[in-house]
Amino acid sequence: MILQDRTKGIVLVLTAALFWGISGTVSQYLFQALQISTEWLTTVRLLSAGILLTLIAYKREGTRIFDIWRHKADIIGVTIFGIVGMIGVQYTYLAAIKHGNAATATVLQYLGPVLVTSYFILIAKRLPTKKEITAVVLALFGTFLLVTHGRINTLSISTEAFLWGILSAFGLAFYTIQPINLLRRWGSTIVVGWGMIIGGVVFSFIHPPWQFEGEWYLSTNFAFLFIVICGTVLSFYSYLESLKYLTASETSLLACAEPLSAALTAVLFLGVSFGWVDWLGTVFILLTIVLLSRNRG
């Protein structure tokens, strides 16, 4: 039974990582082949996925999903999470894909755990351990290889792709740290569902969902539905379910399949150039996750 549970957990987290990675490649297709607006996709993705997750939460927990709006601290917390956390992590990531490619954007976002670790080191007012120093060095070196190909005076990706990729890592770090207390009180599905809805409503003032830009064909329907259902709702739900059968460190390690799946699908289906230096930089960045996940439950 234990072995079956572990196998189920591994399948769930790998499914989540695979869907996340592929959805990045699908997003790149929408941006670069069909000229669909990054802002429009951000708004509609947040609203659609938020509503679906909130409905899932309602089916599981009933009217408790509305209790989060009864306490001032929770209202402020989930509002900040929706505006800064959700918009921050979603829009910056999609913008990095638009200006670069799904592979590089996803790998750069995986600098987020290093930023999270650095934050908690500063809060604890302590010196980093050797393992943490090694992780930071590996992350920096991996990023250097990924964005310069080892040539100090040139960038192998556009400045916009690099900046948005770094901002997406900061967005992921904020998204991870800020809602910790909310998640403990209300659970992930409720917090993330409402956070997406809030983020989508607020971002609608920047780009309303009815102001579509780009080209729309029959294939676009499938691409959009994949991003919302598989790349957001199912991947998030599968990841949460995997935590029932695996430790947090195990899920973190297995989730590293996300940038790998994004890179492979971008190379195979969109013809993205991803040479051995890019793969080497990716390996160095993912090694930071391995180091930082050790000895954590």
Cα 208 to chain centroid distance, Å, stands at 23
**Token couple for 170:** 């900061």
Q: pLDDT confidence of 297, banded at 50, 70, 90?
A: very low
Q: What are the φ and ψ backbone dihedral angles of 191, each rounded to 5 degrees?
A: -65, -50
Q: What is the pLDDT of residue 295?
A: 52
219 Cβ partners below 8 Å, 6+ apart? Answer: none
What mean pLDDT do residues 3-27 have?
86
Are 101 and 28 contacting, i.e. CB atoms less than 8 angstroms apart?
A: yes
Are 111 and 143 contacting, i.e. CB atoms less than 8 angstroms apart?
A: yes
Q: What is the pLDDT of residue 155?
A: 66
DSSP state of 179: T
For the entire predicted model, the pTM comes to: 0.89
Cα 283 to chain centroid distance, Å, stands at 18
What mean pLDDT do residues 159-183 have?
91
**Token couple for 286:** 């993912």
Q: In whole angstroms, what is the distance from residue 161 CA to residue 96 CA?
A: 5
Q: What is the pLDDT of residue 170?
A: 94
Mean pLDDT of the chain: 88
**Which residue type, as a one-letter code, is found at position 266?**
A
Are 191 and 67 contacting, i.e. CB atoms less than 8 angstroms apart?
A: no
Q: Is the pLDDT score of 283 beyond 60? A: yes
Return the sign of the alpha-carbon dihedral for residues 15, 18, 21, 26.
negative
| CA-based nearest residue to 228, from 108, 17, 48 | 48
Q: In whole angstroms, what is the distance from residue 15 CA to residue 117 CA?
A: 26
What mean pLDDT do residues 45-74 have?
95
Q: Is the pLDDT score of 296 beyond 60? A: no
Q: Is the pLDDT score of 50 beyond 80? A: yes
The number of residues making up the chain comes to 297
What mean pLDDT do residues 226-232 have?
92
Domain ranges of the chain: 2-293
Q: What is the pLDDT of residue 294?
A: 65
